[in-house]
Amino acid sequence: MNAVIQQAVPQNPLIEGLERLPVPPTTLVIFGATGDLARRKLLPALYNLAHEGGLPEIFHLVGVSRREKPHEHYREECEQAIRRFSRRKPDEAVLSGLLQDVRYVPGVFDDEAVYAQLAKVLSELERIAGQPLSRLFYLSTAPSFFPTIVEALGRQGLTALTTQTGADGARPNRAAAPSHAREREEATCRVVIEKPFGSSLSEAISLNERVLSVFDESAVFRIDHYLGKETVQNLMALRFANGMFEPLWNRNYIDSVQITAAEDIGIEGRAGYYDRAGALRDLIQNHMLQLLCHIAMEPPASFTADEVRNEKVKVLRAIHAPKPSEVEQMARRAQYAAGHLGGDGVIGYLEEEGVREGSATETFAALRLEVDNWRWAGVPFYLRAGKRLARKVTEIAVTLKPVPHVAFSEEGAREIKPNQLVLTVQPNEGVSLQLGAKVPGPRMTIRPVNMEFLYGTSFLSQSPEAYERLIVDAMRGDATLFTRNDEVEAQWRICDPIITAWEQAGGPLPSYPAGSEGPAEANEILLKGDEWRAI
Ligand code: BG6
């Protein structure tokens, strides 16, 4: 993808920084190494990176998790996970090369002994390598452990090299760091933090404070896996590598923007997490607001972490955070009831295992937001996310204003619709532009047709998984596709009042049958003339 963009516009300063940073020799430490995310996403991503030569020549993997087990058992578990979840059938030589040296450190995350043991393993790997190795700590645990782990890493000196060099050349924290930390000179230490980053604005602020007391912001990589998706990066390419959209990309020509993240799956055994999160925290606060930012941001001066994130933060800050009394006008929530999907009957949310009795957690949320700046004032941004809807689709539909005057006969013009640009993030990744065209024949009859670009047919190659791109970016220190501290807080600032209003209102919630298009109540936040696209 990047190569293609670079061929097309070799001088574009926006993308020239993309491949700039090398991937240094690294040890990746996964906390929560036996969890679902590690098995389904991280390990397969590492395998596919190894397959494509995307990992550095010296690369080690260390798993940290609760259960006691020898290295060999963990290695076998990694192998099974890769065989089961990799997007390509593993090549035996690549697989054994990747896993031959895997290490495992057992223990609970609030036990200091785990970190001392980890320090030994890391030093040993560096001794074998004969050089310092960069360390990437990947926190794929329950969120409550994020601060515990980060602070313990700091106390044990495992992160000592992340702090900036002071004016006198001294690195803060070094004196306090154990000797194993002081031995390492040039390598870097970075931390990747999974979502959710807090469950409210105040939690996010406090988590940021605790993380930043140990790591410099430049070493913190807050994951939003949507940013690693090819199609999300393509939003940038579409907007900033093509001249034709920019003149139209504003309130003068755009009528509304609609962002949908519909899923057919339910909560997949994740009640423990989901029942306390809900659709707003799970998808809207992070993934969907990021999609909105990609549509609404100003062109950054260059495609670097700070420039891109500065522009996104400006968008988030321009979004009006509702007052409690305004929530009713701009937000709706609902919960799925029993229904049918793919011909099978499925249970309702309240019947799912682990969901609290009478839970008022929303499995569907719809919002109408406004970006109060010169480019977007008055343009509604509709966001909608839900579980157990008719099908899985993530898309952004940009609807242009209708033509000012229709010169055709009423009969022929009946089907004229405003142009719509639909960016499909998944599945059937691509872009389609809906135009009015004349139906062949003697009459001037207009009907909508689609001009389409599909990834599958244009590039004839399988897109990498989001985590592949993100792991490499974190290893080489490129934070462009990660969320900055002020960005995550700005996202919570928008969602917090809605969450509070809903918590105060309690339940029961409106419902929608599983397998449907969502609740009729979602229509109540649409402005006159607007409608939700079919799912
Ligand atoms: C995760 C949410 O962040 O994103 C899940 O926690 C959701 O509930 C998932 O299913 C959707 O991701 P994707 O890549 O399948 O759209």
Write a three-state SS string for 304-351.
CHHHHHHHHHHHHHHECCCCHHHHHHHEEEEEEECEEECCEEECCHHH
Closest CA to 286 of 450, 136, 483, 434: 483
Span from the CA of 323 to the centroid of ligand 1 (angstroms): 28
| 395 within ligand 1 shell (Cβ under 6 A) | no
Contact between 459 and 2 under an 8 Å Cβ cutoff? The reply is no
pLDDT tens for 197-221 read 999 999 999 999 999 999 999 999 9
Q: Ligand 1, residues 283, 352, 388, 389: which to mutate, most atoms within 8 A of Cβ?
A: 283
* CA-proximal residue: ligand 1, atom 8 (nearest): 282
**Residue count of the chain:** 535
Neighbouring CB atoms inside 10 A of 324's CB total 12
Span from the CA of 224 to the centroid of ligand 1 (angstroms): 10
Q: Determine the Cα–Cα distance for residues 127 and 121; give it in Å rounded to an integer.
A: 10
Q: Determine the Cα–Cα distance for residues 48 and 438; give it in Å rounded to an integer.
A: 47
Query: Which atom of ligand 1 lies at the shortest distance from residue 265's CA?
Result: 10
- Residue 409, pLDDT score: 86
- Residue 161, pLDDT score: 53
Contact between 419 and 400 under an 8 Å Cβ cutoff? The reply is yes
- Residue 411, pLDDT score: 86
Query: Which atom of ligand 1 lies at the shortest distance from residue 273's CA?
Result: 6
- Report the mean per-residue pLDDT for the chain: 90
Classify residue 361 as left (phi > 0), alpha (psi -120 to 50) or beta.
beta
Neighbouring CB atoms inside 10 A of 171's CB total 16
- Tokens read off for 64: 């940290």
Q: Ligand 1, residues 41, 274, 287, 424: which to mutate, most atoms within 8 A of Cβ?
A: 287
Is pLDDT at 222 greater than 70 in this prediction? yes
* CA-proximal residue: ligand 1, atom 5 (nearest): 282
The per-type count for the chain, helices as H runs and strands as E runs, is 17, 17
pLDDT tens for 468-498 read 999 999 999 999 999 999 999 999 999 999 9
Supply the residues annotated as catalytic: 287
Contact between 418 and 400 under an 8 Å Cβ cutoff? The reply is yes
Span from the CA of 141 to the centroid of ligand 1 (angstroms): 16
pLDDT tens for 28-83 read 999 999 999 999 999 999 999 999 999 999 999 999 999 999 889 999 999 999 99
* CA-proximal residue: ligand 1, atom 14 (nearest): 226
- Residue 9, pLDDT score: 35
Is pLDDT at 20 greater than 80 in this prediction? no
Q: Ligand 1, residues 42, 225, 230, 273: which to mutate, most atoms within 8 A of Cβ?
A: 225
Closest CA to 239 of 306, 291, 305, 313: 291
Span from the CA of 489 to the centroid of ligand 1 (angstroms): 20
Span from the CA of 387 to the centroid of ligand 1 (angstroms): 10
| 394 within ligand 1 shell (Cβ under 6 A) | yes
Span from the CA of 187 to the centroid of ligand 1 (angstroms): 33
| 224 within ligand 1 shell (Cβ under 6 A) | no
| 263 within ligand 1 shell (Cβ under 6 A) | yes
Contact between 76 and 99 under an 8 Å Cβ cutoff? The reply is no
Residue 268 carries which DSSP code? T
Is pLDDT at 185 greater than 60 in this prediction? no
| 282 within ligand 1 shell (Cβ under 6 A) | yes
* CA-proximal residue: ligand 1, atom 6 (nearest): 282
Is pLDDT at 439 greater than 60 in this prediction? yes
Span from the CA of 283 to the centroid of ligand 1 (angstroms): 7
The average pLDDT across 253-263 equals 98
Sheet holding 59-65, edge to edge: 103-106, 59-65, 26-31, 134-139, 189-193, 220-222
Confidence grade of residue 241 (pLDDT, cut at 50, 70, 90): very high
Of 150 and 343, the structure prediction assigns the larger pLDDT to 150
* CA-proximal residue: ligand 1, atom 10 (nearest): 263
- Tokens read off for 513: 């049958």
Confidence grade of residue 407 (pLDDT, cut at 50, 70, 90): confident
- Residue 461, pLDDT score: 78
The average pLDDT across 165-183 equals 39
Contact between 32 and 1 under an 8 Å Cβ cutoff? The reply is no
* CA-proximal residue: ligand 1, atom 9 (nearest): 283
Q: Determine the Cα–Cα distance for residues 439 and 436; give it in Å rounded to an integer.
A: 9
- Tokens read off for 302: 């260059």
Q: Determine the Cα–Cα distance for residues 291 and 226; give it in Å rounded to an integer.
A: 8
